[in-house]
Amino acid sequence: MQKDALNIVVTGVGGQGQITLARVIAEAALIRGINAIVAETHGLSQRGGTVIVHVRLGNADAPLIPPGAAHVLLSMELIEAARYSHYLARDSIAVVNDYLVPPPLPGIKVPSTDELVSTIKERAGSLVIIPATQKALETGDVRVANMMLLGAAIEAGAFRDYIDMSSAEKAIQSVLGKAARQNIAALHNGAELARKAIKQ
């Protein structure tokens, strides 16, 4: 018997590694014998556009999560976290990268980080913000920021008992192969960042 569906919305800006993040979550679930469905965004929207990936673990048939029914929001970017915050259910958790990418359209008004955070807070049961991109840049490879977010989400209990650090590590091995080492390090860095963020 599969567990009830756990609905996870993964968002960000095209190119930030949302699909890889979703793949690792699905793989980690499968390693633990839990069903997974990942509905992705490909093609045109990938070019620096807004991206939403729907991840459903457990007893789920349909690929898409309806607005108001997501238990978890993982976002690589603040505006995109706000854009999809209406996907969250009441008792949900959002884990968000403290990174703002203004859309490169001339003359648009970009909300401040504070405004965005308060919008997300209105929708999320709880919110954890970590500086994943900043930390990733410090380690020399911005591409691992997505695994930091995953580590933070696991640490924050976002995945309940569906996936854990050990299944995530195995999933990273299987999905990322040669790049696994630095990504597993990023996973732990992310968990550490979450511990700090939660303490504050």
Closest contact distance (angstroms) between CB of 110 and another protein is 6
**Sites for another protein among residues 6-35 (CB under 8 A):** 13-15, 22-23, 26-27, 30, 35
Tokens found for residue 153: 């989400």
Torsion of Cα atoms, 172 then 164 then 158 then 86, to 10°: 40
Is 125 among the residues that bind another protein (CB under 8 A)? no
Contact segment (CB under 8 A) with another protein among 56-64, 146-154, 155-163, 184-192 equals 56-64
Closest contact distance (angstroms) between CB of 161 and another protein is 19
Tokens found for residue 46: 């990938």
Is 179 among the residues that bind another protein (CB under 8 A)? no
Selected from 2, 45, 161, 196, the binder of another protein by CB under 8 A is: 45
| Residue 74, C-beta contacts closer than 8 angstroms, at least 6 positions apart | 8, 9, 10, 11, 21, 94, 95, 96, 149, 150, 153, 158
Closest contact distance (angstroms) between CB of 198 and another protein is 25
Closest contact distance (angstroms) between CB of 195 and another protein is 24
Is 169 among the residues that bind another protein (CB under 8 A)? no
b/e burial code for range 79-104 (CB count within 10 A of at least 16 → b): bbbbbbbebbbeebbbbbbbbbbeee
| Residue 13, C-beta contacts closer than 8 angstroms, at least 6 positions apart | 48, 49, 50, 51, 76, 77, 80, 101
- Comparing CB distances to another protein, the nearer of 155 and 159 is 159
Cα(64)–Cα(124) distance, integer angstroms: 19
**Site mask, another protein, residues 130-159, x = CB under 8 A?**
---x---x----x-----------------
Cα(167)–Cα(25) distance, integer angstroms: 9
Interacting residues with another protein (CB under 8 A)? 13-15, 22-23, 26-27, 30, 35-50, 60-69, 79-80, 82-83, 85-86, 88-89, 101-111, 119, 123, 133, 137, 142
